[in-house]
Amino acid sequence: MKYKLSHPDRIIGGEINLPASKSIANRLLIIRALCKDSFTINNLAPSDDTQVLNSVLNSLGKEETIDVGAAGTTMRFLTAFLTLQEGQRFTLTGSERMKKRPIGVLVEALRELGASISYMEEEGYPPLKIDGRFLDGGSLTINAGISSQYISALLLIAPVLKNGLKLTLEGEMVSRPYIEMTLSLMEAFGIDVEWKDNIIQINAQEYQEQEFTVEADWSAFGYFCTIASLAKQNKLVLNGLFKDSVQGDSVFPEYGSLLGLRFHFMKPYFHLIKGFEKVDQIEIDFTTFPDQAQTLIVWCAALGVSGNFKGLQTLKIKETDRLLALQNELSKLGVEFKEGKQGVWHLKGKIKQDQAVEISTYKDHRMAMAFAPLALVLPSLIIDDPMVVTKSYPMFWEDLKSLGFKIEDLN
- Known catalytic residues are 291
Rounded to an integer, what distance in angstroms lies between the CA atom of residue 248 and that of residue 366?
17
What is the spatial distance between Cα 299 and Cα 97, in angstroms, rounded to a whole number? 27
Point out which residues pair with 337 in neighbouring strands: 347
Helix axes 22-34, 148-157, angle to 10 degrees: 30
Distances (CA, A) of 240 to 53, 133, 235, 245: 23, 40, 17, 11
CA pair distance 169, 6, nearest whole angstrom: 47
Q: Can you state the angle between helices 48-58 and 22-34, rounded to 10 degrees?
A: 10
Please, which residues bridge with residue 92 across strands? 66, 128
* CB neighbourhood size of 274 (10 A): 21
Q: Which H/E stretch holds residue 12?
A: strand 11-17
* C-alpha distance from residue 398 to each of 1, 322, 384, 395, 403 (Å): 16, 25, 17, 5, 9
Distance CA 306, CA 330 (A): 13
3-state secondary structure of 58: helix
Can you tell me the distance from the alpha carbon of 82 to that of 396, in angstroms, rounded to the nearest whole number?
A: 32
Q: Which of 101, 44, 43, 42 is nearest to 71 (CA)?
A: 101
CB 324 within 8 A of CB 345: no
Three-state secondary structure call for residue 110: helix
Dist CA 230 CA 373 (whole Å): 8
